[in-house]
Amino acid sequence: MTNAPTACLLIIGDEILSGRTQDANLKFFGETLAAMGIRLKEARVIPDEPEVIVETLNTCRALYTYVFTTGGIGPTHDDITTPCVARAFGRNVIRHPEAVRRLTTYYEGHPNAARLKMAEVPDGPDVELIDNKVTAAPGYRIGNVFVMAGVPAIARAMFEAAAPLLKQGAPVFSGHVDAHVKEGDIAAELTEIQARYPQTSIGSYPFYKDGKPGTSIVARSTDKAAISSALADVAAVMRARGAEPFNVPSL
């Protein structure tokens, strides 16, 4: 798992931080990238502030194989992601001729100035448009950075178009076993189980169901057999504590 490609998701927008808009992209990127064998190592939510965007982007693109940004490439004054990306790479902003053509066709020959803003990208021969089957406004790739819309349906469409450009690794599988047992009661045993399965990530997540406390134990690995064995050990510990497991996976 250590040699797998890595990724970071930058969620850009004051509306996310204010709570006005609830992000729906993180779950999609996390699950989809895991299935492709790309480890989403970090996600950051950052404001519409140029200095923050530039600094964060430069930090993250040096740390991870891929960086995906969502938000800030629309037609309004507060859509500032593209100028910030260009600044991070030391580039100028241009109107991409193919993007202009697509928007002109989509708007039947009459895109207004605001909509043409969505044809702007950093300059350079390495900038590659990302198709958008929902609307004509494309995303783009520059270096290891993929710049995408924030609207979930459009972000997903752009990701599907960009997926063939990504280097994949071994997919990460997951399973979980739940029981009405407090996580503190099985913490010591979980530490021992984790030590027995070093290539499997084991997480503990408390919950309340039917008015009773419980714990969900999630195991993630590229090895399905290791997940099954680890969760079988967890289930045995739960039974020893007098709690019958449920949601035992069949991998």
Kindly give the confidence (pLDDT) of every residue in the chain, 251 residues in length, as a single tens digit, with 9 standing for 90 and above. 468 999 999 999 999 999 999 999 999 999 999 999 999 999 999 999 999 999 999 999 999 999 999 999 999 998 999 999 999 999 999 999 999 999 999 999 888 999 999 999 999 999 999 999 999 999 999 999 999 999 999 999 999 999 999 999 999 999 999 999 999 999 999 999 999 999 999 999 999 988 999 999 999 999 999 999 999 999 999 999 999 998 776 65
Distance of CA 134 to the CA centre of its chain: 20
Which domain, by its residues, includes 57? 6-165
Please calculate the CA angle 43-12-139 and round it to the nearest 5 degrees: 100
Predicted local confidence at residue 20, as pLDDT: 93
Domain C-terminal end among 140, 165, 190: 165
Whether the CA torsion 228, 234, 240, 246 is positive or negative: it is negative
CATH code of the domain in which 188 resides: 3.30.70.600
Which residue type occupies 113?
A: A
In a shared domain, residues 11 and 86: yes
In a domain, residue 249? The reply is: no
Q: What does each C-alpha distance from 58 to 51, 145, 146, 199, 212 come to in angstroms? A: 11, 10, 13, 31, 46
pLDDT for the residue 110 = 87
Indicate whether 86 and 121 sit together in one domain.
yes
How far apart CA 159 and CA 234 sit, in angstroms, is 36
pTM for this entry: 0.88
Structural domain contains residue 245: no
Does residue 46 sit in the same domain as residue 20?
Answer: yes
Residues 120 and 206 placed together within one structural domain of the fold: no
Last residue in a domain, options 132, 149, 165: 165
- DSSP-derived secondary structure letter, 170: P
pLDDT for 247 equals: 79
Q: How many domains does the chain have?
A: 2
Q: What is the pLDDT of residue 2?
A: 60
CATH number of the domain bearing residue 22: 3.40.980.10
Both 136 and 186 in one domain: the answer is no
